[in-house]
Amino acid sequence: MVDRLRPILGERKGREAYSSLSGEGKVRMGLNENMLVNKFFSDTILAEATKRVDAREYPPPKGWTAARTIAESMGIWEDEVLIGNGSDEVLDLIAKVFLSSEGREAIVVDPTFEMYKFYTSIAGGRTKQVLATGDFDLSAESVLSAVDDSTKVIFICSPNNPTGKQFNRDEILRIVEESGRVIVLDEAYADFAPYSLSGECTEYENLLVLRTFSKAFGMAGLRAGYCLGNARLLEWLKAAQSPFSVNSIAQEMVRLVLENKKVYESFIRQVVEERNYLTAELEMLSGVDPYESDANFILFRLPKGIDSGEVVRRLGECGLDVRDRGSLPLLENCVRVTVSTRENNLKFIEMLRGTMGDLA
């Protein structure tokens, strides 16, 4: 295990090892949190959730309260839902259960969310990379032709992080139907996109759909994500889960958030409006090429000669956190920025314009 961790930690130590994840004290536009969820509203329901909880008691085991609420809201059975301490915990469980023996392999469609590789490698499995097409689409043909005897899981992120693109549903379903493998469809950003396959997850024996309360519902700090799918598959994951991993306040918040879904839908609409605004502003910067997004972030390419790593470093020094994605396949010189409030979006555009001017 120590050997598996060494390449991840390298020489970095303590807080420093995770500084790129902190966003501490900065304008937070690097982690795809949702700052358009009204703070007063969020605080009010958080206070109500806290009131309903007795902190001396362990939480309902296996996220039972939250799982029941989600099942009821979707009209499915409770055993078709697994709730985790963020969808990160669900990814960790998937890797532990399906990918922990030597020689077991997961396919990832790159560029994509890096945690699929992380959890697979910690569990002891391997990942095989299939590249997205030049315009960041999913090719079912390429994925299916990469499947072999060692393939156990195929991770598909749609809308994809960091490109923001939601893949064509027929391409995804073709992989589900023809691969004969466990498909993990990570829909962390589907609330901002035209469609979701979560309604169809129980129709297929091999499809697991991941959703989260961290993004659209502004609950990143409380940690609640979930997986929908075939009860038999989920039973394996639940068996490997620690009983009290989802805290009581997060479970009550899930209940309150779903009771107030209409209000959250209005916050989601604001994200989409701001996304359009920010894309248009980026398009107006000379040489900058933003990609159309179905998520709450935008990927854009900087003009040749202006280095994405240097731009992100300078913005960070000025107190604004965005993500350099330039080292990922197909993403040379690309940066990912989270859609935020109008004030933050304007601040970002001004700072980016200034930084590009200094570097030109």
Ligand X SMILES: Cc1ncc(COP(=O)(O)O)c(C=O)c1O
Question: Which among 85, 321, 93 has a CA at the least distance from the CA of 214?
Answer: 85
Q: Is 207 left (phi over 0), alpha (psi -120 to 50) or beta?
A: beta
Residues 6 or more apart whose Cβ sits within 8 Å of residue 328? 110, 111, 162, 334
Out of 158, 214, 230, 340, the only residue in the binding site for ligand X (CB under 6 A) is: 214
Q: Shortest gap between Cβ of 352 and ligand X (angstroms)?
A: 22
Q: By Cβ distance, which residue is nearest to ligand X? A: 86
88 binds ligand X (CB under 6 A): yes
Q: Shortest gap between Cβ of 298 and ligand X (angstroms)?
A: 14
Q: Shortest gap between Cβ of 96 and ligand X (angstroms)?
A: 16
113 binds ligand X (CB under 6 A): yes
d(CA 301, CA 306): 10
Q: Using CB under 6 A, which of the segments 84-92, 126-134, 227-235, 334-342 binds ligand X?
A: 84-92
Q: Using CB under 6 A, which of the segments 86-94, 169-177, 257-265, 330-338 binds ligand X?
A: 86-94
DSSP string spanning 281-316?
A: HHHTSTT-EEPP-SSSEEEEEPPTTS-HHHHHHHHH
x/- contact string, 31-60, with ligand X (CB under 6 A)?
A: -x----------------------------
Q: Shortest gap between Cβ of 86 and ligand X (angstroms)?
A: 3
The b-or-e profile of 179-215 (16+ CB within 10 A means b, else e) is: bebbbbbbbbbbbbbeebbbeebbebebbbbbbbbbb
Place of tokens 């992120």: 157
Question: Which among 82, 26, 347, 57 has a CA at the least distance from the CA of 234?
Answer: 82
User: Is the CB of 192 or the CB of 300 nearer to ligand X?
Assistant: 192
Hey, which residues between 290 and 319 contact ligand X (CB under 6 A)? none
Q: Shortest gap between Cβ of 175 and ligand X (angstroms)?
A: 17
Q: Is 83 helix (H, G, I), strand (E, B) or coil?
A: strand
User: Is the CB of 83 or the CB of 349 nearer to ligand X?
Assistant: 83
Out of 42, 212, 241, 308, the only residue in the binding site for ligand X (CB under 6 A) is: 212
Binding-site ranges for ligand X (CB under 6 A): 32, 86-88, 113, 157, 161, 186, 188, 212, 214, 220, 225
